[in-house]
Amino acid sequence: MKKIFRDFFILFGLFLLWASTSRVAMQYVVDHRDVNTWWGSYQCLHGDLISLSYLDFVPVFRNAPVNIPPTRDHTGPKNTDLYLYGDSYSWTVKKTDFPSIADFYYFNRDLPMRYHLDSTKRNVLILEISERMLRDVFKDSRIMNNVKDTLPRNRYAALFELKGLFNPLINQNLQCNLFNYNFIMPMFETKAALNYYLFNRASGDVVISDDRQFLFLKTTVSRTSTASSYIPIPDEDIDRLADTVNKVYDHLMAAGFDEVYLAVIPNCATIMQPAGYNGLIPRLYNNPKLRIATIDAYTTFKNTTDVLYYHGDTHWNMEGERIWASIVSDQLALGAMRNKKTSADTATIHKP
């Protein structure tokens, strides 16, 4: 009997691992799990941190709607192709957010970036990265191995390429297949309520802000994690970070891009709880060694009175995304003006 149980659990574990790795299998699971049944998947629509902490019953953490002004119009020439190599912050960014571009290509940084530049266009690449991932991604220059000049099947083809043997979302998929069921949720929600009301804290990997208005990812407020907004960072670490970014920048410029920008998105804790901030973004941006052009959302975000982040999510809200897209559009316009001026000066120099 023990052997039967042993073999059963081994086979079950292998099947679960395969299903959690396979994109086709996971899509089938998602499509066929009825959310309204006891075996359906837990649906929390108010933020990823609420989902992690099961604090959906606390109204202040739920995502409130934000009124978004219309996108600015642009009547000038559109000769810029914009390549955005980003993370979950820029998943919902679209071409219409940048009115002055000819075409837009988005690539998920968890997967290889495959591109082919149009030599008749101004080709601009933005490396968008969340602050919590900055030091890990640029601890070395491995990002250069993921960026290749080769024509993809279509502009979104890189989103569906495999990276190695395992799905990069395998941990979330295993969580979904093992524990994310409606009949289990009351147990998690009861524990979350006890922690919140009795101990004034959240469950799992989530921390409540000092003013109790926001949820933060625990690693972004830890005193030991490199993702943290508060962990002390020696100046020599900032120098090494700048050196690595410069290597990546040189590689990408040599690959044919006309302009490459670094765009670091501040942690929610950086903006909404700034006391004790380690200054990672401004220290890197102002480092004299850094040669890459930067898109500075940090300065704009910290100087606004508007709430630019969801209360129960790690990400910015729609207003934060709109402001960032506006900053990018302004930066692209300035770059175009610089290029035009440089071209005019060159023409003047070589004029017979």
CATH class entry, domain 80-156+223-348? alpha beta
The whole-number pLDDT of residue 125 equals 96
**pLDDT per position as a tens digit, 88-122:** 999 889 998 998 899 999 998 878 888 889 999 99
Q: CA 113, CA 255: separation in Å to the nearest integer?
A: 13
Percent of the chain at pLDDT > 70 equals 75
Specify the pTM.
0.79
Indicate the domain borders of the chain: 80-156+223-348
Kindly tell me if the per-residue pLDDT of 41 is higher than 50: yes
Kindly tell me if the per-residue pLDDT of 202 is higher than 70: yes
Confidence of residue 152 (pLDDT cuts 50, 70, 90): very low
Q: Quote the tokens at residue 213.
A: 């208005």
Kindly tell me if the per-residue pLDDT of 243 is higher than 90: yes
Assess contact for 48 and 302: CB atoms under 8 A: no
Assess contact for 127 and 261: CB atoms under 8 A: yes
Kindly tell me if the per-residue pLDDT of 66 is higher than 50: yes
The whole-number pLDDT of residue 159 equals 44
Kindly tell me if the per-residue pLDDT of 213 is higher than 90: yes
> How much is the average pLDDT of 46-72?
75
How many of the other CB atoms lie within 10 Å of CB of 88? 15
Q: CA 143, CA 153: separation in Å to the nearest integer?
A: 22
> How much is the average pLDDT of 165-189?
67
Confidence of residue 203 (pLDDT cuts 50, 70, 90): confident
Task: Collapse the DSSP code of 164 into the 3-class scheme (helix H, G, I; strand E, B; otherwise coil) and give the result.
Answer: coil
Confidence of residue 240 (pLDDT cuts 50, 70, 90): very high
Task: Find, among 100, 94, 51, the residue nearest to 75 by Cα.
Answer: 100
Kindly tell me if the per-residue pLDDT of 173 is higher than 80: no
